């Protein structure tokens, strides 16, 4: 960590350096990695499709390692355009390349779908044998998850169609909202220190400002834009919710809750206990904000939910100081 501190450009602007992934969108390795990834996926499918039931635990371990390698490369390919796009949703080059990568990764995922499906079709005795195999000990959690999803998995053809639909369906609508929000112009707010902010993320950050007028101005600037496009965002939300409902029905879930508990790996009794305990102590939430209101000398409004417990401005933290503090904290963890 000390070495990382020495190498960090502490006075540089707050901008991601992604050169450890790729040098840029014109980096030839991007195209090469996309092509090699699809070649690996095709080769894996050709080698093992229809043969999973006959593989030994040792052979399956090698399969898992190959899939790990593919997943790692997929992560790098997705991270590069995704991080650039999330930092600037107006970057059309990043958006175009992200779409290209998503299409390629969907194709890769569809090539590999057979593996989990064939594992799920194994006889119970064979599957239990794999779960107990020492050579597969590192993959026990993955195998357990496959077993739990068995009742809700569809045929390979349907699963592939669902994946392809995501490019123009649910995920497309979610991304549409991000792109649309990023293109909006917000009423600028000038803080007491003379800084003017006019982006959604910066304006939302003002909700933590000690000055109630600044908090209100930031909140109203964002809310004004949201209100102008309520019908569009409501349509997007309803479409995503309806798609989610249809998929849950296709997969045989009894409820949306059942699916989410499976995703989160939480049993329903635990969930019910948490909800019951939380509901019994709603008064803590009310007391908390009553006390905060007393501390800042006003009734709590929506714009004040994240307000600090003081009306005094915190001393400014430079980028350099923030990096040093963060790295010093991380340095206390075990390697």
CATH code for the domain of 122: 1.20.140.70
Q: Residue 299's domain spans which residues?
A: 185-221+291-335
Residues 313, 207: one domain?
A: yes
Whether 283 is in a domain gets the answer no
Residues 296, 213: one domain?
A: yes
Q: What is the pLDDT of residues 201-241, one digit of tens each?
A: 899 999 999 999 999 999 999 999 999 999 999 999 999 99
- Return the number of other C-beta atoms located less than 10 Å from residue 94's C-beta: 20
Residues 71, 203: one domain?
A: no
Whether 165 is in a domain gets the answer no
Distance (Å, whole) CA 84 – CA 90:
10
Give the residue from 153, 174, 204 where a domain finishes.
153
Average pLDDT rounded to a whole number, residues 66-78: 96
Give the total residue count for the chain. Answer: 335
Give the residue from 108, 133, 153 where a domain finishes.
153
CA distances from 128 to 113, 144, 248, 296 (A): 21, 10, 28, 60
Whether 319 is in a domain gets the answer yes
Domain tally, the chain: 2
Whether 87 is in a domain gets the answer yes
* Neighbouring residues of 121: CB distance < 8 A, sequence distance ≥ 6: 53
Token pair for 327? 């790295």
Checking if the pLDDT of 6 tops 80, the result is no
Q: How confident is the model at residue 187 (pLDDT cuts 50, 70, 90)?
A: very high
Distance (Å, whole) CA 117 – CA 160:
12
Distance (Å, whole) CA 38 – CA 29:
14
Residue with tokens 């502490």: 10
Average pLDDT rounded to a whole number, residues 315-321: 83
Distance (Å, whole) CA 87 – CA 81:
10
Residues 332, 207: one domain?
A: yes
Angle between helices 268-280 and 256-264 (to 10 degrees): 100
Whether 73 is in a domain gets the answer yes
Lowest mean pLDDT among 51-65, 88-102, 151-165, 280-294: 88-102
Distance (Å, whole) CA 131 – CA 149:
15
Buried b (16+ CB within 10 A) or exposed e, 252-269: ebeeeeebebbeeeeeee
Residues 89, 208: one domain?
A: no
CA distances from 333 to 3, 151, 320, 328 (A): 15, 41, 21, 10
Distance (Å, whole) CA 31 – CA 26:
9
Residues 213, 333: one domain?
A: yes
Residues 79, 137: one domain?
A: yes
State pTM to two decimals.
Answer: 0.79
Give the residue from 100, 135, 153 where a domain finishes.
153
Residues 142, 199: one domain?
A: no
Angle between helices 230-250 and 170-182 (to 10 degrees): 160
Q: Which of 171, 26, 181, 187 is nearest to 89 (CA)?
A: 181
Residues 303, 194: one domain?
A: yes
Token pair for 104? 């390629």
Whether 270 is in a domain gets the answer no
In contact, 238 and 176? CB cutoff 8 Å: no
Distance (Å, whole) CA 148 – CA 218:
45
Residues 141, 207: one domain?
A: no
Lowest mean pLDDT among 60-74, 77-91, 152-166: 77-91
pLDDT at 7: 45
Whether 276 is in a domain gets the answer no
Residue with tokens 């963890």: 333
Residue 248 gets the label, from left (phi > 0), alpha (psi -120 to 50) or beta, of alpha
């Amino acid at each position: 960590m000390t070495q990382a501190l020495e190498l960090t450009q502490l006075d540089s602007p707050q901008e991601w350096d992604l050169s450890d992934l790729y040098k840029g969108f014109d980096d030839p390795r991007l195209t090469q990695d996309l092509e090699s990834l699809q070649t690996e996926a095709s080769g894996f499918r050709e080698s093992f499709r229809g043969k999973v039931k006959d593989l030994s635990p040792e052979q399956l371990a090698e399969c898992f390692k190959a899939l790990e390698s593919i997943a790692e490369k997929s992560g790098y390919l997705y991270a590069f355009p995704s991080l650039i796009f999330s930092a600037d949703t107006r970057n059309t080059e990043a958006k175009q390349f992200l779409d290209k990568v998503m299409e390629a990764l969907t194709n890769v995922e569809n090539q590999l779908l057979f593996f989990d499906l064939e594992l799920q079709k194994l006889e119970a005795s064979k599957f239990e044998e794999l779960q107990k195999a020492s050579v597969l000990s590192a993959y026990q959690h993955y195998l357990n998850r496959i077993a739990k999803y068995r009742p809700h998995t569809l045929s390979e053809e349907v699963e592939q169609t669902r994946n392809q639909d995501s490019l123009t369906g649910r995920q497309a609508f979610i991304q549409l909202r991000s792109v649309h929000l990023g293109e909006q112009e917000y009423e600028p707010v000038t803080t007491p220190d003379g800084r003017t902010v006019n982006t959604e993320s910066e304006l939302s950050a003002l909700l933590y400002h000690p000055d109630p007028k600044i908090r209100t101005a930031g909140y109203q600037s964002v809310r004004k834009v949201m209100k102008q496009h309520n019908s569009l965002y409501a349509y997007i939300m309803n479409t995503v919710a309806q798609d989610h409902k249809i998929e849950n029905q296709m997969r045989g879930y009894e409820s949306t809750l059942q699916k989410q508990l499976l995703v989160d790996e939480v049993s329903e009794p635990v969930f019910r206990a948490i909800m019951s305990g939380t509901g019994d102590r709603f008064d803590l939430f009310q007391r908390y904000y009553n006390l905060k209101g007393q501390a800042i000398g006003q009734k709590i409004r929506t714009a004040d939910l994240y307000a600090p417990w003081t009306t005094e401005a915190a001393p400014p933290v430079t980028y350099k100081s923030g990096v040093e503090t963060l790295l010093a904290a991380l340095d206390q963890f075990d390697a």
